[in-house]
Structure 1
Amino acid sequence: MSADFAPLRELIETSPLITTARARGSGKPEAAVEAAEGVVGPLSQSYRWWLTEYGEGAFNATEIASVAPPTPDTVDVTTELEGERLCFYRESDGCGGSFHFALDQWDGEEHPVVRRDHFTGEEDEEFADSFAGFLTVQVALHSGLGEGPNPTIARLWRSTPGVLLPNGVSVYGPHVIRERNDTYEVREYAPDWVLVGDDSGGRGLFMRHHGRDRTSVYALDLGAVEHDVEANGELLTGDLVGWLAAEAYG
């Protein structure tokens, strides 16, 4: 699924793990981004957005590569091209890996992100589907959320830190999901379930975080959260990612 820039902006501006060097809207000029693309080819849409919105920044106090004209401490991403891999982030713990755009897997909008082991140089399994997904998964992992509360949300977070539909439906990213679940005491009243979003009208979107069915999404009044969400809620979909895509682009 394509990155939703509204929750991506919220993730960047509310997560203490992500810092930006410039105020929003004062990023790199389009000419600088186009010049970089003349060297490395098309940049991922969400990475391109990051560059033009914020210009430079870091995750967990480690710099994310940018484009010229760089500051003295900035890595120019055009110098990080290694065949079909474009490195944009290196973990700073001395034993960490590096993260690369897989340029040979361009889907017309994004390059998936792969991680290379620091010692062997071998690639792990694909880390995320996009640069937005890279930031999202990193925030989730560093916040103790794993890759997501269930496989469906983990799949979504590999592309985008949540979704905000025109009709007001919101699916949460890792920067807000814990707070929303604490607010409505979901763990106490519906311990097998997780609140993954809401409809802006008083109903929450619930999924199981363990058990036999972790794909179905139910809508239930947030003022009436109870143990048996399936029996008391309305089934919305068994394919959250597909449903969101249809609602967003249909």
Structure 2
Amino acid sequence: MEPDLTLLRELVEGTPILSTHPGRGVPEEWICQVEAMLGPLPPSYRWWLTEYGSGTLGGAGIATIAPPNLRVYADDDLTAPWRLADGLLCFYAEPDCGDSYHFVHPGHRSPGSVASAEWPVVRRDVFGDEEPFAESFAGFLSISVARAAGLGDGPTPALARLWRSTPGVLLPNGVMIYGPQIITERNETYEVDDYAPHWVLIGDDSGGGGLFMRRHGRDRASVHHLDFGAISSDTVAASEKVADDLLVWLRGGAAIPGRQSTLGQ
């Protein structure tokens, strides 16, 4: 799914492992100069550059765009010669010679990969081995924050797939799927671990109802809907199943039978 920039801002400005400078974005002219060299930058990374310009993750800098008169000398500039090799563009490296993270340039994607303006991200370890990490820069930040918070890639496989693209979703009908910046707080607020320990609250309908998925077992893919006031293991298990596949449901508009959007009322 395409990154939700509103929720991405919440993620960036609400987590202690990210340090940014709001309002000190890179000028559009500089971005266009770099795009003339590299092609259109992935939208969520471009948004990051225009909003913050630079920043750090876990104390290590994320590549930026330096002033034109300093670009040739700036090691943190996205166009530094060492960053681009074999179709991979390095934009972040962990501290102390840790893993590095690279955009896959559109011209070097695998045959049959899904077409998107976003650039996938791969992780390369110190031995040079690579593995897919995220589907976008927003997903890179989302998974990084999730892992730092002890959430792994996500509490369910479906949520992990979503977070690899975006830190949550807010749809026009009011359905919201939480990102790593908020999911723990929401589960604590509604005491899900106490009342329904085999379930995780993954979102809500903006009208008093929660969306739940099983933490364990054979069925970790279906999504269930239940009013917050009725949470228990038995009631969630017997609640209305609204989807067999989270991402397919979201792409189709995430309809909940008998519910209408409360937004704007």
Tell me the TM-score normalized by structure 1.
0.92
Q: In structure 2, do the counterparts of structure 1 residues 73 and 178 end up closer, same or farther at CA, with 3 Å as the change threshold?
A: farther
Greater mean alpha carbon deviation, residues 134-143 or residues 108-117: 108-117
Displacement of 1:236 in angstroms is: 1.1
Gapped runs of 5+ residues in structure 2? 255-265
Which residue identity does 1:61 align to in structure 2?
G
Q: Secondary structure at the match of 1:101?
A: strand
Structure 1 segment 175-194 matched on structure 2, within 5 A: 175-194=181-200
Q: Secondary structure at the match of 1:6?
A: helix
1:203 has 2:209 as partner: yes
Displacement of 1:73 in angstroms is: 7.4
1:87 has 2:90 as partner: yes
Tell me which of 43, 58, 67 is aligned to 2:65: 67
Q: Could you tell me whether the CA contact under 8 Å between 1:220 and 1:232 is conserved in 2?
A: no
* Distance in 1, Cα, partners of 2:141 & 2:235: 31
Displacement of 1:43 in angstroms is: 1.2
Q: Could you tell me whether the CA contact under 8 Å between 1:190 and 1:227 is conserved in 2?
A: yes
Aligned to 2:260: none
Q: Deviations 1:23-50 (Å, cap 9, x if unpaired)?
A: 24x4112111111111222211111111
Displacement of 1:93 in angstroms is: 2.3
Q: Secondary structure at the match of 1:67?
A: coil
Aligned to 2:79: 78
Aligned to 1:122: 129
RMSD, matched Cα: 1.8
* Distance in 2, Cα, partners of 1:67 & 1:4: 23
Which residue identity does 2:120 align to in structure 1?
P
Q: In structure 2, do the counterparts of structure 1 residues 189 and 230 end up closer, same or farther at CA, with 3 Å as the change threshold?
A: closer
* Distance in 2, Cα, partners of 1:42 & 1:185: 45
* Distance in 2, Cα, partners of 1:155 & 1:216: 14
* Distance in 2, Cα, partners of 1:61 & 1:194: 31
Q: Deviations 1:68-114 (Å, cap 9, x if unpaired)?
A: 227997600111211301000011123x1110001122833111100
Aligned length: 243
* Distance in 2, Cα, partners of 1:74 & 1:49: 21
Gapped runs of 5+ residues in structure 1? none
Identity %, equivalent residues: 55
Tell me which of 135, 140, 143 is aligned to 1:134: 140
